[in-house]
Amino acid sequence: MKYKLVDILACPECKNYPLELHVKEVTGPSNKGGSSAKPECELFCSYLNKEVKSLSNAPCDECNSVKIKEGYFVCSKCNRWYPIVDDIPELLPDYMRETKRNL
């Protein structure tokens, strides 16, 4: 999963935005350097964990080369969590989720 996907994701239950991203494993570059003239994300840069309006430039080229392999999202409003497994975010409503899965 790419970091910039977080810019368009909201909680499927309460529609809260943005979700808190907790990364366990990534593939690709790991240093946060370099910059581009204008951030590609519209509202929230999850790579830097900042709102786009507070950024003058962002490392978008580097961010686009990194994939989140394992991690999870937490909704700060309803406290639900959603796993990222093998690069795929599992943003399912409660009735479709495995309730016994651990983080």
pLDDT by residue (tens digit) across 36-88?
567 788 899 989 988 988 888 888 888 888 999 999 999 999 999 999 999 99
C-alpha span between 88 and 90 (Å, rounded): 6
C-alpha span between 74 and 46 (Å, rounded): 13
* pLDDT of 29 strictly over 90: no
* Contact status, residue 58 vs residue 21, Cβ threshold 8 Å: no
C-alpha span between 1 and 67 (Å, rounded): 5
Question: What average pLDDT score do residues 11-24 get?
Answer: 94
C-alpha span between 25 and 82 (Å, rounded): 15
> The whole model's pTM is what?
0.79
Task: Please choose, from the candidates 77, 13, 65, 23, the residue with its C-alpha nearest in 3D space to the C-alpha of residue 46.
Answer: 23
